[in-house]
Structure 1
Amino acid sequence: MKKLILTLILPLCFYGAFGQARQENFQLILKDDWKMQSAVTDAGPADKISKENYDTHGWYKVSVPTTLIAGLLANKVYDFDPFMGKNLVKLKDAKLDKPWWFRREFTLPASENGKNVILRLHGINYKANVWLNGVKIADSTKVKGPFRIIQLDVTGHINYTGNNVLALEIVRPFTPNKSRGDLAIDYADWIPYPPDYNGGIVNNVEIKTYDKVGVQYPLVTTRFDLPSLSIAHLTVNAQVTNYTNTAQDAIIKGHINNDVAFEQKVHLLPKESKNVTFSPLDFKQLNIQNPRVWWPWQYGKPELNRIELSAVTGDKVSNTLSENFGIRQMDSKLLNNESREFIVNGKPIMLRGAAWSPDIFQRRSAERQEQEVKLVRDMNMNIIRSEGKMEDDNFYDLCDKYGMLVMTGWMCCGVWQHPEHWDAAERKVAMASDSSVMYWLRNKASLLVWLNGSDMPPTDTSVESDYLKIEKALKWPNPVIATANETKSKVSGYSGVKMAGPYEWVPPIYWETDSTHKFGGAWSFATEISPGPSIPPYESLVKFIPGDSLFTTSPAWLYHCGTGSFGTTKVFDKALTERYGPSATIKNYVAKAQAQNYEAHRAMMEAYGLKKYNTATGVVQWMLSNPWPGIIWHTYDYYLYPAGTYFGMKKSMEPLHIMYSYKSNAVGIINSYLKNFTGLQIKATVYNIDGTVKYTKLAQTAINADASKIVFALPPITGLSPAYFLRLQLNDHSGKVQSINWYWLSQKAETLNWKKSSWFTTPESAYADYLALQQIPKTALKLSHQQETTGNDSTTHTVSITNTGKSVAFFVHLRALKGKNGDDILPVIFSDNYISLAPGETRVLTCTYGNKNGMDTAPYFVTSAWNLDTAKSNGDEQAAFEEGLPVN
């Protein structure tokens, strides 16, 4: 017998809330033990391939989901790393443009004999002929579209007592130009297209059985009597289907958290599907007292509840399903037609996050997904945007679990953005895809908003109208907006969001000084925005840029930028040279780039936080991650290495944060807690390059819940060096440190040339002068490993760093290695990093990583700084120091 992956097999009956024996329904996820082969290589007839005893010797063994190239990589077909240099082009193969077979054998347990059998395809990219046991059960006119859930009744072709052979003949999508082609997984200027265009199976393939009638797609919608959350009025919906050729009466039974029960009878015509609704008006028990409410993680606990539904015909339970849901209410409102404010459980929320990108070959790892969601939370973000790149159930379950909000919708720039060119078949795919995604995602607690378009509303107004009809009919419970940009829809009006750039380097002062409300400054809700490149650390660069190509104009470097307008780092590089000075080596360049990444991304998020609920309601960094090793648009790189961008982001979004306003030369506070603070103590200190103190100010203040404010302006200071430091510290009323934030500032102002702004950047006509940062007097550090705490899965280390010299220790970077001379332990979470230290100052940092990622070895801690005197620095037996790389 072939290996089976059984999600909910029925070995036992038990008594449920209704006093009746019931069973979990059978579900067979066809994950492992698939065989894949090109129809060019094996030209056998389909009716033979889809029968037993067909010779698949030489076929590739794969697990699903997989694309063609992902399957070939898993089988080690290539003798090179496709990510190194320009090796991706070597994957091109004419066979990828022809059909490929995916073949799987399976058996059904005897308990399922005689039941209705449904084959569920959730992600065919792009189209397929489907064969079962030698019979074509669906052709490629019906089975196409990666975001569709296609259910095929295979009862008449199933072998209940022996082996079954499922064979999918799949053709990859074709996109001959940006506006015409297939409605598939699309890209814009992020990356080159993989040569197979992600052709293959990109989500689950399942076998489900039902006894005449089935229930699926549960939805629990919440309404509160706001502002009170003491009673949750729940409405339960589900789809019920009669799989037989005769009319059926069924009872749909449900319960929530094993203690709230409800049921109703439904009559179904032959093959009929209908919605069943349980209203809190008719079912008083659905008015839940003192509910466990799901909150975004910064506002409270992401409490999950459980719903279970069963379909009963006669005295038999046909199927039972259960899944988590959140008792929560998502709303939004427009402020002056310009800014859309999102409201969760009656509380406005300032949304700050980044845009998710899946692996270029659509490979998924539950472990990596969780690692990435943890990194998002560690940066203090509260939302992930997924632009037309739907993930799997595990991703959304993780967001539910960790209280991470999700914005998603249809994608930009390709065929999806041009419905005016669709024919009837493509329109059918689009509408079926919209229905499928609504059914699939509508009960996910983390889903905040759906976008019917990305860079513009659907250009055919009837398409948006039809989308909205589907979403209303399927009771999508969350806000819907037409587009991720500011264009007013002719159907649904103002979006209240914008995507007016930038996507390229701009200096920190940009975000507060866009007073025209034309560009990317801190106003409205920016659904995608970025100060451009995020240069990975040297340790990551060498994994995908050949040694002889480690310079910013090499073909390999440019290939790992974006495409089109974003195919170089020249704007960023010019700013780096003008502001920090020429770079003698690639390591020198990379180290300075971390500082430029840090300051730019920190300033963006700080500006939006400072202006929250005034002119700004949200901001999404473009992007969170890269689908392959890239040089632009990420907060952490493909190898999960957190560098300058990451820690600038993390610093800017700490929940009680002290900041500097580049525009007003003032000190402010951002409070992201839902509570007031009084008796706050602020200390601002200005240091010259030589470490002398030029200014100090102490102040006390208070701040309201979820608010921001400017506290005081800095006065003119005489005797400053051309570049100088500002250290800010915020203590609470008990004296506990809540925030320490360092800025490096220039007496030469940055000047933006707003008149020459483009859709992706605003150029500078004068740059800040940070050249003096390369002449900071050297200083010594003392590094001490204080404590190690080991849990079942992770280990946390406490490390103390002291500046023992007389000048500021600038941009101190702590690393944890897998032993001396080993690679960095990744992923890793530091409480802070790329810190600066005043003379005599000590900071205590924590470092946490998974035990298996540390390879169960003692970490070797390494630190560097711009002006580190390694000869005078000392550490314990597990520590070392690197040279201060930015000094030429």
Structure 2
Amino acid sequence: MRKLFLSLLLLANLTSFSQQRYELNSGWVCSNIKEVKVDGVQLSSTGFSLNNWMPATVPGTVLTTLLNNKKVPDPFYGMNNEKIPDVYNTGNDHYTYWFVKDFAEKAVGNEQVWLQFRGINYKAEFYLNGKKLNPKTHEGMHIRAEYNITKFLSPTGKNRLAVIVYPPDFPGNPNGGQGGDGTIAKGLTTQYTAGWDWIQPTRDRNTGIWDKVTIEKTKAINLRNPHVVTLVPGKRMPTGVQKPATIKVSVEVENPTNKVVTGVLQYQVAGKTISKSVSLAAGKNAIVNFADLAIENPKLWWPSGYGAQNLYDLKIQFLSANQVFDQENLKVGIRQIDNLWNEHTKSMGAYVNGQKIFIKGGNWIISDAMLRFSDARYDAEIRYHKDMNLNLIRIWGGAILERPEFYNACDKYGLLVFQDFWFSGDCNGRWVDPLKKEDQWTRRNYPDNHPLVLDAIEDQVKLIRNHASLAFWCGGNEITPPEDILNPIKKDILPRLDGTRQFFDFSNSDEMSFNDIGGNGDGPYGIQDPKSFWSTKTFPYNSEVGSVGVGDYESLERFIPAKNMIAPQFKEKPDSVWDYHKYIAYEQYIDPYGKAKNARDFAMKAQLVNYDQYRALMEGFSNKMWDWYTGSIIWKTQNPWTALRGQMYDYYLDPNACLYGLRKGSEPLHVMMNPVDSMVTVVNNGFANRNNLMVQAKAYDMDGKDYFYSQVFNSIGGSSVRRFFPMNEFLKKLDKKEGVFVSLRILDEKQNILSENIYWMADKNGEYSGLQKIKSAPLNITAAKKSNNKVEVTLSNKNGNPVAFFNRIALIDKQSGKRILPAFYDDNYVSILPGEHKTITVEYTGSQDNLAVEVYGWNVERTKVQIQ
């Protein structure tokens, strides 16, 4: 015992370990297979000339490389995508490329060097310094590859890596169907790339070294795939002293050498160290389990809106001979996620740390259809989801299992993640579809290589299982995998590799949300009468409920050519570019504001519809929280290209009114009015009771005159809905008006506004005739810089003015007038009541100079304001 103590004391005094891991993400070149007349052995020899080879984007796709070298036009602009050859028509050789990278590296002493590929689509062969690394062809987009290249390295330290990448064997006919003719799903790749009802086909089908390539150096031991499980028993509150939580840790330990290696395996977290002596035979791998660790008074991780997103640093090391042989660093959130069936709603209920969470989610496809991922883009997109007051993102099965950087952002911002595997009802045979090449029986068994799918699922579960945000697994979108894939997932892979998360067979299965009202168990889609969200019962845990999402004029200008900037007309085929970008008609909801005069007028009125839609959607579901519903997931909250539907912000990260309407309707504490019976209702999503709340209701006419209705003190319990009073009779007395504004507020005892909601009501004919004639409301606008990355904008409306309605604030470059993107507003599309003011905080990233603020509204002139 004393000997072990002295050993540990000695090891504790080791110099700090510098992680020897770096990315090979620059200096690549590439060439099409038709232009290369030698094999990989010759090509990977450093003496072979690479003159005139094209710079390659790695990580990236072939299409990204071609775009960056100006060989193709931007496929997201206009109808440029039609100018790019499709792999289905050209044959696979057109997008089959050699990628070559020279790098410096050599092993010294007992060092081991590992080459790691986190994602290649679709098949690949690897060569290093004239030797082939992979005895069997690498296959599958959703699986990692790792090679010990120690013995292949040049003694001079100058090395050349050559990789040939082939497109999917079955790229599919992009015939306009969901996933084209469906055959894209015969391989383990992204189904959306053959086209869907929200995207045009991606011409290379995402072929390329699409994810990171990494070199890792270790000593004689390699630590792989650590696994951390946290147990938080009982029902917890976000604040106060916590009872202990338990951490369970294991890790794979690999000895690639020809000698026995002995040492100490340890991990450190929260100031504690757990150690274990390990001896591993030559060439062996083992999974080592540590003793459980109790964390006293842990700082827990909570979903957004419910508590803090506390994360602990956890470090695993193998120590021997006064050296750190290898080290893995993780961020760990201590939380426990459970699911309990709600017999009243007949749907699954989500619980975190013993507390039930009403799911307010958004469906996510992929960050970028050409796989141009970055930490900064992930961070911005997930932050937008937090800003929507959502608490869950569902990753749809026709795309990928997301990258660890995505989960890092979800851990940071508190977004639970519902992760599908790679199946869809469209491609995998749920429905009869005349656009599909093969029948349902054949498609039901896609992909062709089932063992490959199981290997990939094992690998990808290991990749992301430690993230606090990962909440649920799902077999596929609207369909299960084939039985010989589904059963091993349920009975072996997930119990063995995870065992802590709910697995749903498919996204709208009865085990998630019992379907007793007909249909597929999700939907409806497209624009709806806002009243329908309140009055029509849909599925009790709806995995997809959708609507519209056209951006504003500045957004449209980024990808629609000037000649095509035409206001679409209801019941007429839209302009070709609008149609190509999947526009859904909703002018029947715009016309009550006055028929759109042009594209700019259309885009402004579309924002009114957008705001009203998504506010009503989440308010309607929240109104029946725990009665009809345990949650809903919007189809969809983002787009991986320049589509004209289903998005809270555009591809360029510019938010539209969908985001702020949804943000309003999803407030943790929220006052709202039922449009069916005008009942004023308060929703409390928090766990604690809220006492001594004043609920206030007023109306304003188009001239700004206010009509006081009521204010009452009352309380509301935690995680509940309370109905206060109807406004029917009061609003009927205002029928002679040409529409009114209804202002609802919750105030605390100090008259601080805790929630505010302003509705604009149509006249008795369902028209917004008053808004069409409302007078202008000149605002006093000031902007002040509060820190390096924060600006405060104050809008003041004088007494005697009408309501200054629906104002968009935009942070812009002072010279160009272009918007700073991304930028994060704590509210937007705001209305200022007469005699009141509102301050909006804008945050932005990076170093920005020469900033200004632009403000415009329905009855507020476009104004550019200098920042003080």
Alpha-carbon offset, residue 315 of structure 1? 6.7
The answer (yes or no) to whether the contact 2:738–2:762 under 8 Å persists in 1 is yes
Identify the residue that residue 363 of structure 1 maps to in structure 2. Answer: 372
Describe how 1:502-521 pairs up with structure 2 within 5 A.
502-515=524-537, 521=538
Separation in 2, partners of 1:288, 1:607: 41
Separation in 2, partners of 1:547, 1:15: 71
Q: C-alpha offsets along residues 811-851 of structure 1, whole Å, 9 cap, x if unaligned?
A: 23333332276112322222322222333333333333336
Q: Specify whether residues 17 and 326 from structure 1 end up closer, same or farther in structure 2 by C-alpha distance, changes over 3 A only.
A: farther
Separation in 2, partners of 1:49, 1:288: 54
Q: Is 1:407 aligned to 2:418, yes or no?
A: yes
TM-score normalised per structure 2: 0.87
Describe how 1:116-515 pairs up with structure 2 within 5 A.
116-138=112-134, 142-173=137-168, 174-176=170-172, 177-179=181-183, 180-187=185-192, 188-227=196-235, 229-244=242-257, 251-265=264-278, 267-268=280-281, 271-280=283-292, 286-312=293-319, 317-336=324-343, 338-356=346-364, 357-387=366-396, 388-411=399-422, 412-413=424-425, 422=445, 426-458=449-481, 460-468=482-490, 469-487=492-510, 499-515=521-537
Alpha-carbon offset, residue 380 of structure 1? 1.8
Identify the residue that residue 762 of structure 1 maps to in structure 2. Answer: none
Q: Specify whether residues 477 and 158 from structure 1 end up closer, same or farther in structure 2 by C-alpha distance, changes over 3 A only.
A: farther
Q: Specify whether residues 809 and 580 from structure 1 end up closer, same or farther in structure 2 by C-alpha distance, changes over 3 A only.
A: same
The answer (yes or no) to whether the contact 2:427–2:443 under 8 Å persists in 1 is no
Q: C-alpha offsets along residues 86-130 of structure 1, whole Å, 9 cap, x if unaligned?
A: 00122226376442111112222454x454433222101111011
Separation in 2, partners of 1:427, 1:54: 39
Q: Is 1:816 aligned to 2:811, yes or no?
A: yes
Q: Is 1:781 aligned to 2:781, yes or no?
A: no
Return 409-418 or 438-447, whichever deviates more: 409-418
Alpha-carbon offset, residue 198 of structure 1? 0.6
The answer (yes or no) to whether the contact 2:348–2:511 under 8 Å persists in 1 is no
The answer (yes or no) to whether the contact 1:811–1:835 under 8 Å persists in 2 is yes
Q: Specify whether residues 672 and 165 from structure 1 end up closer, same or farther in structure 2 by C-alpha distance, changes over 3 A only.
A: same
Aligned pair partner of 1:548 in 563, 568, 571: 563
Separation in 1, partners of 2:16, 2:842: 48
**Quick one: percent identity of the two aligned structures?**
26
The answer (yes or no) to whether the contact 1:252–1:266 under 8 Å persists in 2 is no
The answer (yes or no) to whether the contact 2:514–2:540 under 8 Å persists in 1 is no
Identify the residue that residue 829 of structure 2 maps to in structure 1. Answer: 834
Counterpart of 2:449 in 1: which secondary structure?
A: helix
What is the identity, as a one-letter code, of the residue corresponding to 1:453?
Answer: G
What is the identity, as a one-letter code, of the residue corresponding to 2:105?
Answer: L
Q: Specify whether residues 22 and 745 from structure 1 end up closer, same or farther in structure 2 by C-alpha distance, changes over 3 A only.
A: closer
Counterpart of 1:147 in 2: which secondary structure?
A: coil
Aligned pair partner of 1:624 in 615, 634, 637: 637
TM-score normalised per structure 1: 0.85
What is the identity, as a one-letter code, of the residue corresponding to 1:134?
Answer: G
What is the identity, as a one-letter code, of the residue corresponding to 2:817?
Answer: G
Separation in 2, partners of 1:109, 1:569: 57
Return 682-691 or 671-680, whichever deviates more: 682-691
Separation in 2, partners of 1:375, 1:144: 35
Identify the residue that residue 677 of structure 1 maps to in structure 2. Answer: 690
Q: Is 1:61 aligned to 2:55, yes or no?
A: yes
Q: Specify whether residues 276 and 378 from structure 1 end up closer, same or farther in structure 2 by C-alpha distance, changes over 3 A only.
A: same
Separation in 2, partners of 1:771, 1:88: 40
Separation in 1, partners of 2:832, 2:321: 74
Q: Specify whether residues 776 and 424 from structure 1 end up closer, same or farther in structure 2 by C-alpha distance, changes over 3 A only.
A: closer
What is the identity, as a one-letter code, of the residue corresponding to 1:623?
Answer: K
Identify the residue that residue 576 of structure 1 maps to in structure 2. Answer: 590
Counterpart of 1:432 in 2: which secondary structure?
A: helix
The answer (yes or no) to whether the contact 2:266–2:273 under 8 Å persists in 1 is no
Counterpart of 2:133 in 1: which secondary structure?
A: strand
The answer (yes or no) to whether the contact 1:114–1:160 under 8 Å persists in 2 is no
Aligned pair partner of 1:800 in 775, 795, 802: 795
What is the identity, as a one-letter code, of the residue corresponding to 1:409?
Answer: D
What is the identity, as a one-letter code, of the residue corresponding to 1:129?
Answer: E
The answer (yes or no) to whether the contact 2:783–2:865 under 8 Å persists in 1 is no
The answer (yes or no) to whether the contact 1:488–1:495 under 8 Å persists in 2 is no
Q: Is 1:100 aligned to 2:110, yes or no?
A: no
What is the identity, as a one-letter code, of the residue corresponding to 2:187?
Answer: D
Counterpart of 1:509 in 2: which secondary structure?
A: helix
Counterpart of 1:606 in 2: which secondary structure?
A: helix
Identify the residue that residue 579 of structure 2 maps to in structure 1. Answer: 558
Separation in 2, partners of 1:803, 1:832: 21
Separation in 2, partners of 1:422, 1:275: 33
The answer (yes or no) to whether the contact 2:428–2:443 under 8 Å persists in 1 is no
The answer (yes or no) to whether the contact 1:485–1:495 under 8 Å persists in 2 is no
RMSD: 3.0
Separation in 2, partners of 1:503, 1:575: 15
Separation in 2, partners of 1:433, 1:225: 32
Structure 1 residues not aligned, in runs of 5+: 1-13, 281-285, 516-520, 562-567, 749-767, 880-888
Separation in 1, partners of 2:771, 2:661: 21
The answer (yes or no) to whether the contact 2:128–2:161 under 8 Å persists in 1 is yes
Separation in 2, partners of 1:788, 1:19: 47
Q: Specify whether residues 701 and 672 from structure 1 end up closer, same or farther in structure 2 by C-alpha distance, changes over 3 A only.
A: same
Q: Specify whether residues 96 and 338 from structure 1 end up closer, same or farther in structure 2 by C-alpha distance, changes over 3 A only.
A: farther
The answer (yes or no) to whether the contact 1:213–1:250 under 8 Å persists in 2 is no
Aligned pair partner of 2:756 in 718, 740, 757: 740
Q: Is 1:642 aligned to 2:647, yes or no?
A: no
Alpha-carbon offset, residue 300 of structure 1? 2.1
Counterpart of 1:742 in 2: which secondary structure?
A: strand
Counterpart of 1:746 in 2: which secondary structure?
A: coil
Alpha-carbon offset, residue 364 of structure 1? 1.4
Identify the residue that residue 435 of structure 2 maps to in structure 1. Answer: none
Alpha-carbon offset, residue 424 of structure 1? 8.8
Describe how 1:685-764 pairs up with structure 2 within 5 A.
685-693=698-706, 696-716=709-729, 717-720=732-735, 721=737, 723-746=739-762
Structure 2 residues not aligned, in runs of 5+: 1-7, 173-180, 237-241, 431-441, 569-573
Q: Specify whether residues 355 and 212 from structure 1 end up closer, same or farther in structure 2 by C-alpha distance, changes over 3 A only.
A: same
Separation in 2, partners of 1:265, 1:494: 52
Separation in 2, partners of 1:104, 1:724: 66
Aligned pair partner of 2:81 in 63, 79, 88: 88
Size of the alignment, in residue pairs? 811
Alpha-carbon offset, residue 421 of structure 1? 5.0
Q: Specify whether residues 825 and 861 from structure 1 end up closer, same or farther in structure 2 by C-alpha distance, changes over 3 A only.
A: same
Separation in 2, partners of 1:263, 1:450: 32
What is the identity, as a one-letter code, of the residue corresponding to 1:375?
Answer: Y
The answer (yes or no) to whether the contact 1:814–1:833 under 8 Å persists in 2 is yes
The answer (yes or no) to whether the contact 1:498–1:526 under 8 Å persists in 2 is no
Counterpart of 1:466 in 2: which secondary structure?
A: helix
